[in-house]
Structures are given as structure tokens and as C-alpha cells.
Amino acid sequence: MILIYAATIIVQLLAGHQISSDTDPFLLMGDSVMETFTQTGAPGMTPVDFFPILQHLPSWFPGTYYATVARRLKSVAQQFYDYPLQVRKGSASGSFILHHLQQIENGTCPLNIDQLKGASATVFAAGKTSSTLMVFLLAMVLNQDVQKKAQHELDEFIGKEALPNFSDRDKLPYLNALVQEVCRWNPVSPLGM
């Protein structure tokens, strides 16, 4: 459930797309990309990264395992790179992609289409990692007094009927520090980089 929640937020901001089921193309593609990453190893740490010549050798040659896997999964990576930009203007209101596509059309965007694809793929990949939310939940289970203090601050300054937004950040120093501490305490990086 946390994985779907994290992906829903990032896809809404990125592409203006509302995920409505666990069979949504964005979720399925994200899962296949993450599976691809687990099969190809950590970026920059495989033999083919150290010896690029290995990518040109046949799959039976020693040391070419990762190059062979990469060739086999290239289409998945390409789809991941292209798919988020396949957005129709009418269905992507207020999204990162739509904003930049409109700027590209007007000639005011600092990015070109390939750079926008790369930025979108990076944001989407980062959004697929829900580990920070899991670390937060672990921290709250282990430190229930901290959870109570944060809830008290929210109730006192925001109220029980509203949700905080970025303009409320200065009013919530304890919660702001809590978020920073979660990121510091057990930092999360995709693929352990």
C-alpha cells in the first residue's frame, strides 16, 4: 500500500495522471524497471562499467553477463524513459511534464525533449522508492513520544480539520526537524548508491 501511495503522489505531480488501480501502466512499468535494476546491478559497479569493451563481446564470453542482461532489458529502460512524456495536454493539468512541454513549445524552457525525458524518468524512479516512508513509520513505532509531540504541534498550529502545506513549514519546527531526522537517521538511496 505504501508503494502505491508513493507512486500515486509522484505520478500526479509528474504527469498529472491519477493512478486508480494496482494494474495502472505507470505502476506496472515502474515495477518492471525496478526489477530490471535488480538484475543489472548497481550503476557504475559492474564489469562492463569498468571495461566497456565487454558490451561488444558475445554473451558466452566471461564477464559479459551484465552487458547481456542490459541488451535484453533495453526496451524496458527505453519505455521508462519515453512513457512519462506520452501525456495529452487535456489530461495532465498542472504537471511537471506539461509545464515544461509548454515552455519548450514557447521556446522558454532551459531543457530540450531528451533532457525532459531524463528528468522525468529520474523523478519517476525516485518516486517509486517508498523506503523513506517506511523509515518514518519505523521511527514512529519505535519513538511514540516523538509521534505524540509531532501530532500535538500539528493540532495546535494547523488544527484537526486541515492539512499542512509548505507555507506552514515555519509554524512547525518540530515536525520539520522530524522529517530531516528521518532522512538523516536511515538515509535511503535507490540501489544503495
192 has pLDDT over 50: no
pLDDT of residue 188: 63
Rounded-to-integer distance, Cα 49 and Cα 75, Å: 20
Residue 193 has pLDDT above 50, yes or no: no
* Mean pLDDT of the 38-58 span: 80
Q: What is the pLDDT of residue 146?
A: 95
Longest dimension (CA), the chain: 66
Higher per-residue pLDDT: 171 or 84: 171
Please report, rounded to a whole number, the percentage of residues in the chain having pLDDT higher than 70: 89
Counting Cβ atoms within 10 Å, is residue 10 exposed (0-12), middle (13-18) or buried (19+)?
A: buried
Q: For cell 515544461, what's the residue?
A: 100
**Exposed e or buried b for every residue in 62-79, given b needs 16+ CB within 10 A?**
eebbbbbbbeebeeebee
Least confident of 29-33, 94-98, 128-132: 128-132
H helix intervals, the chain: 2-15, 25-40, 47-50, 65-82, 96-106, 113-127, 131-142, 144-157, 173-185
Give the model's pLDDT for residue 174: 95
In angstroms, the CA 41 to CA 47 distance is 10
Q: CB burial class (10 A; 0-12, 13-18, 19+) of residue 60? A: exposed
Q: Has residue 11 got a pLDDT over 80?
A: yes
State which of 9-23, 67-81, 156-170 shows the largest mean pLDDT.
156-170
| pLDDT tens digits, 113-126 | 899 988 888 787 77
Q: Is residue 98 scored above 90 in pLDDT?
A: no
pLDDT bucket at 2, cuts 50 / 70 / 90? confident
CA distance 60 to 67: 11
